[in-house]
Amino acid sequence: MACPLSPKSPEDSWPLLRGLSLMCLPVCQGAAVTPGCGTADLTCASPHLLWIHFVFQTAGLAEERLYMKAPATHQIRGKESIFLRHGRCQILMDRGRWTQNHATLKGKKVLIVYAHEEPRSFNGSLKNVAVDELSRQGCTVTVSDLYAMNFEPRATRKDITAALSNPEVFNYGVETYEAYKQKSLASDITDEQKKVGEADLVIFQFPLYWFSVPAILKGWMDRVLCRGFAFDIPGFYDSGLLQGKLALLSVTTGGTAEMYTKTGVSGDFRYFLWPLQHGTLHFCGFKVLAPQINFAPEIASEEERKEMVAAWSQRLQTIWKEEPIPCTAPWYFGQ
């Protein structure tokens, strides 16, 4: 065929639309593709590339398959069609279907909860590249820079702006649950809850502190992910109130990768993810994506740090293709 197989395999494609009615025409005489009509699955790989898996049928010929990588830039022929060209092939497709496909990623919303005080830090670089890459895809990206916001990490009775249900004996969990129902939580909490509620994906960017999160991020989780908003009883784990949303931890460590293995001095890194990914995020209903762990960037070379940042950016290019991890004990601790 004039256009060779572009993805590594059909499984590498991620169709955003399936079964489009298209027309395939040769651009010039001698093209190897026979004119015909058929259907196609489309993947918006980036704002500049469009994967097309085209299956078409012509009279007297068996079904044929064609994989194309075409520029997303296009010419509009009339009011109803869009013209894509690659090599010796061209695709004529319905304009409305293209608009639907092109808008798919543009509708995605991402919240990055960022917990590092130094903007020029390695964590800052990871946060910045995430903003750039996801924005380039057309996603709406919001950053909660907890240190810059001077976010209050302490969970206290000041988080409730109305009268307490039991002023004699203060119970934070009970009072915030009632305050959430009565819309009397502190504004910094409700502001963050609104961001979470709107997000399709929440990325937590932070350095590992004592095998856990920095205090300011722990406080964000304690205060924002309250009962009524993030979970209820019943209403947790697979039934958590944030079900349908994705969460991802992007973490930097001080120790090397060798230290965080089953035979390493610190143990398998997955052990430390259990209370955070399972006991917090999955408890609230999140589907958890595999963590992005950057080991010991402070002792890495400049070239190695650049490779870490590039790997993160590259992963984000296909982040919407990823399947969540199985949130079960064997994933963390083995059989």
pLDDT tens digits, one per residue of 259-317: 999 999 999 999 999 999 999 999 999 999 999 999 999 999 999 999 999 999 999 99
Look at residue 172 and tell me whether its pLDDT is greater than 80: yes
CA distance 281 to 203: 11
Higher pLDDT, 218 or 77: 218
Task: Give the E-state strand segments of the chain in sequence order.
Answer: 17-26, 36-46, 49-57, 64-71, 75-77, 81-86, 89-94, 109-114, 140-145, 201-207, 246-252, 287-288, 292-294
Residue 26 lies in a domain: yes
Higher pLDDT, 56 or 229: 229
Are 91 and 54 a contacting pair, CB within 8 Å?
A: yes
Higher pLDDT, 43 or 148: 148
Find the radius of gyration of the CA atoms of the chain: 24
Which of 79, 104, 129 represents a domain boundary (last residue)? 104
Segment 229-235 long-range contacts (CB within 8 Å, at least 24 positions apart): 229/180, 229/193, 229/196, 229/197, 230/196, 230/284, 230/285, 231/283, 231/284, 231/285
Quote the tokens at residue 331.
Answer: 């994933």
Looking at residue 300, what is its pLDDT? 94
Tell me which residue range forms the domain holding 235.
107-323
Q: Which of 59-63, 138-142, 149-153 has the lowest mean pLDDT?
A: 59-63
Are 252 and 211 a contacting pair, CB within 8 Å?
A: no
Look at residue 219 and tell me whether its pLDDT is greater than 50: yes
Q: Are residues 73 and 169 in the same domain?
A: no
Q: Are residues 182 and 299 in the same domain?
A: yes
* Mean per-residue pLDDT over the chain, rounded: 79
CA distance 183 to 171: 18
Residue percentage of the chain with pLDDT more than 90: 67
Q: Are residues 143 and 223 in the same domain?
A: yes
CA distance 289 to 319: 9
CA distance 142 to 207: 20
pTM of this prediction?
A: 0.70
